[in-house]
Structure 1
Amino acid sequence: MTRLSDQSWLTAPQTRAVIAALEAAGGPGCARFVGGCVRNALIGQPVDDIDIATTLAPEAVMAAIKTAGLKAAPTGLAHGTVTAISGGQPHEVTTLRRDVSTDGRNATVAFTSDWAEDAGRRDFRLNALYAAPDGEVFDPTGQGVDDALSGRIVFVGEPETRIREDYLRILRFFRFHAWYGRGPADAAGLKACADLKDGMVRLSAERVSKELLKLLAAPGPAPALRLMAESGVLDRVLPDHAGLSLFESMVRVSPDALLRLSALLPADADRVRASARALRLSNAQKERLVLALPAEPAVSVAMDERAGRAALYRLGRRRFEDQVLRAWAAAPVREVEARRLLDQAAAWPIPRLPVDGHDAARAGASGPAVGRTLGAFEDWWVEQDFPDGDHAAMLGRFLPRSKP
């Protein structure tokens, strides 16, 4: 018998309150923890989300949670999901179910009380694991525990069947391989992903980008990306990708998923914007991808501290750091210089321009000359490495000269 032990989330008062509420309505054994929390507990990884499966119907789950004085949110009643809020902690509670029909994106489900039937519709065997409130693990496929401990990502049943139910499972195969896989990828699963990759056209861009960024956030995603490239899946996800060379260097330099995505894209602002639009990334994500590209003033890991301060002032801290990391990824042997610039960016308080339009006006500037005066002063001030002084009194030197 496999049993979870030393899991604070398993015995936390807020978790016990949700289980107690469900068992008060459905009796002992009506609720088990499921999926990622069980898998991660088995392999010693952090548990972020607590999912619970239950034989209770969704309406009964809602009533049981409210009767216990907890908050219930109907986050997905059509698919049997209710979110119970206990002690400020969300617990996703889903009724056991089986698929009635699927179209590669969405499923029509029927509720069931059969744990094996519920397990049979899940994606991978290591995710089809359940644990009783006392920590006893149930493994309906008979191989989920071994898969989790051995780092095998294997579909439940026939890979083609699971993928045709939801083509996002192609990306999930590579994502789970990046996070939990060890050794070669499952051959049958990999072949099915390659054979059925054209079906990904049915997926929304939002689902694809969310899954892709989760994959890129893995500690070591490069082997999974190589498999995606070899199978042709990467071409479906990022048709305009620039290959893996810079990406693999960036993985060693930064854990940031968006910077890793930046390294997968060509160094061309228009093409980056097009890829970001295709993935339906947010405006902030799109802007950061573009601003990470090499720009003027050019960031080089060879620049000295004075040039670094000038670039940091002109670009801002986030953009400067992103460009340093990209330059480091392009020249991995320059780690010492890159780290020096990053330390400088973290430590140096970026100054504000010490004069403004009022100062320029008092110096004699008016109309468009105000902006030109401030711009000329700023160029001098940056070039001179941000000297102190009575800057307002100096502005007269920077007034535009009148044409004779």
Structure 2
Amino acid sequence: MSLSMAGQPWLESQATRAVMAALEAAGGPGCARFVGGCVRNSLLGQPVDDIDIATRLRPEETIAALKAAGLKAVPTGVEHGTVTGVSERRPYEITTLRRDVETDGRRAVVAFTEDWAEDAARRDFRLNALYADAAGTVFDPTGGGLDDAAAGRIVFVGEAETRIREDYLRILRFFRFFAWYGRGAPDAVGLAACAALKGGMAKLSAERVSKELLKLLAARDPRAAVQAMAETGVLAQVLPQVQPLPLFEAMCGLTDDPVMRLSALLPADAAAVVASALRLSNAVRDRLAAAVGDGPAVSPRMSDAEARAAIYRLGRRAFEDRLMRAEAAGEGDGARLRSLAADWTPPKIPVGGRDLARLGLPAGPETGRLIKAFEDDWIADDFPTDGHEARLKALIAATARG
């Protein structure tokens, strides 16, 4: 693996150069290095989203350096040494080198340092403890990060159990990074530590757990990671309601959508409980409930008319999600109905209270009941575009006779 990232577009961009120049103007050459995902992904030829920078400068010095260069500085986490610099509208998270003073399994009390090795020693995995200077020269303080990245190994920095006890979220991160970057079998030492300490995850906030879980499920193919989670008991620790994995494994072959993959890990009656326990966003909670909850059953074998009725009642997204679950369960190929859902626009109900008033029915509770009865008949007849008045009259007459 190359020891230089020279030529990377994000590294050579004017925005990035401006940030590094501002920091080095205050702290001297080499006072700041890129760290973590941007280095790892560049070396692996994968996209770079976030750019993190570690620096010997203290937070107040970082802020002053950025402002002196005409760049925006946002004190996003100064108590932990983090300042967000903004250059040409791109954010750069800049954090002072740190060492842990005290940890409780959820958060750490840190002290600032000027020692790159101390900063690397508090990071989670060796392939995330890679640094690179402004010229793109790569540094590997742990001595194993470059080899791990090349081999697809997720290995804790130092002692695995020590790293986990510092922050139990690292158990989920171990499986998440294995899902994204791992090859072969998971690191045996790390796996054993995760299994032994999984109970500590009870200390974590639901929001941190759900965010990490959804990132894991968004990997190209998370099946091996989730299988390892199941075998170690970590999956049941996160999702006590988890069902056997065949539906999940089939779902991974159909979509990379993490919400649908999560739905395939859950029994139909557990979605609401899980959404509440994990404190999922309202959008994810509502989608899970619609995908597995009550309402019309969806199957690739249903007729076009039945599909249109289900789309009308459920909405297109919920229909497509239920169809995908049915496909994953082995009920057939849903291509025909996916195409129908994409091309068909549900019509609006063509009658209302005014139409009933015009036919002599006074306003009242009966109006709503009749409109609902009309809608049910109209859907059952596959949304006819005419004959609405005759249908209303028949319903009114039937009501009068009853």
Question: What TM-score range do you get, normalising by the shorter chain?
Answer: over 0.9
Residue 150 of structure 2 corresponds to 149
For residue 85 of structure 1, give the secondary structure of its aligned residue in structure 2.
strand
Unaligned segments of structure 1, at least 5 residues: none
Match of 2:399 among 379, 396, 401: 401
Aligned to 2:109: 108
- Contact kept? 2:6, 2:135, Cα under 8 Å: no
Further displaced range: 346-355 or 393-402: 393-402
Residue matched to 1:373: 370
1:5–1:347 distance in 2 versus 1, CA, 3 Å: farther
Shift of 1:397: 2.8
Runs of 4+ in 1 over 4 A off after TM superposition: none
CA 1:354–1:205: 2 relative to 1, 3 Å: same
Query: How far is 1:294 from its partner?
Result: 5.6
Between the aligned partners of 1:347 and 1:6, the Cα distance in structure 2 is: 45
* SS, match of residue 401 in structure 1: helix
Q: 1:60 to 1:300 in 2, by over 3 A?
A: same
Q: Contact 2:6 / 2:137 at 8 angstroms: preserved in 1? A: no
Q: What whole-Å deviation, never above 9, does each CA across 1:144-184 have from its counterpart, x for those lacking one?
A: 11111110000011101111111110110000000000001
Question: What is the CA deviation profile of residues 356-392 of structure 1, one whole-angstrom value per residue up to 9, with x for unaligned ones?
Answer: 2222222223312211221122122212222222635
Within 2, Cα distance between the matches of 1:77 and 1:314? 50
The one-letter code sitting in structure 1 at the alignment partner of 2:282 is N
* Correspondence 1:339 to 2:338: no
After TM superposition, the structure 1 = structure 2 runs for residues 355-374 of structure 1, keeping only pairs within 5 Å, are 355-365=351-361, 366-374=363-371
Residue 352 (structure 1) shift: 1.2
- After superposition, give the CA deviation of every residue in 1:40-86 in whole Å (9 maximum; x if it has no partner): 11111111101011110001011111222221111111110001111
Report the CA distance between 1:5 and its aligned residue. 3.7
Report the equivalent of 2:210: 209
Stretch moving more, 161-170 or 370-379: 370-379
- Which shows bigger deviation, 234-243 or 31-40? 234-243
C-alpha separation in 2, matches of 1:192 and 1:257 = 26
Equivalent residue in structure 1 for 2:350, among 334, 348, 354 = 354
- The answer to whether the aligner puts 1:326 opposite 2:325 as a matched pair is yes
- Give how far 1:205 is off: 1.0
Deviates more, 1:212-221 or 1:352-361: 352-361
The match for 1:383 is 380
Identical columns (%): 63
Which residue pairs with 1:310 in the alignment? 309
Give, in whole Å, the separation in 2 of the partners of 1:86 and 1:391.
61
Determine the C-alpha separation between the residues in 2 that align with 1:68 and 1:340. 58
More divergent stretch after superposition (281-290 vs 203-212):
281-290
TM-score by length of 1: 0.95
Q: Is the 8 A contact 1:22 1:30 kept in 2?
A: yes
Superposition deviation, residue 283 in structure 1: 2.7
Q: Do 1:154 and 1:186's aligned partners in 2 also have CA atoms closer than 8 Å?
A: yes
Q: Equivalent residues in 2 for 1:125-204 (5 A)?
A: 125-204=126-205
Alpha-carbon distance in 1 for matches of 2:190, 2:94: 29
- How far the C-alpha of 1:90 sits from its partner, in A, is 0.9
The 1-side partners of 2:246 and 2:178 are apart by 20
RMSD: 1.5
- Structure 2 residue runs without a partner (length 5+): none
In 2: Cα distance, 1:314 partner to 1:83 partner:
46
Alignment CA distance shift 1:59-1:392 (3 Å) = farther
Secondary structure at 2:111 match in 1: strand
Equivalent residue runs for 1:284-295 within 5 Å = 284-293=283-292, 295=294
- Alpha-carbon contact 1:360-1:392 (below 8 Å) kept: no
Q: Counterpart of 1:201 in structure 2: which amino acid?
A: A
Q: Would the aligned equivalents of 1:26 and 1:56 in 2 still touch at CA under 8 Å? A: yes
Greater alpha carbon shift after TM alignment, 391-400 vs 198-207: 391-400
Aligned to 2:88: 87
The CA distance in 2 between the partners of 1:231 and 1:11, in whole Å, is 43
1:240–1:266 contact (8 Å) kept in structure 2: yes
Q: 1:70 maps to which residue?
A: 71
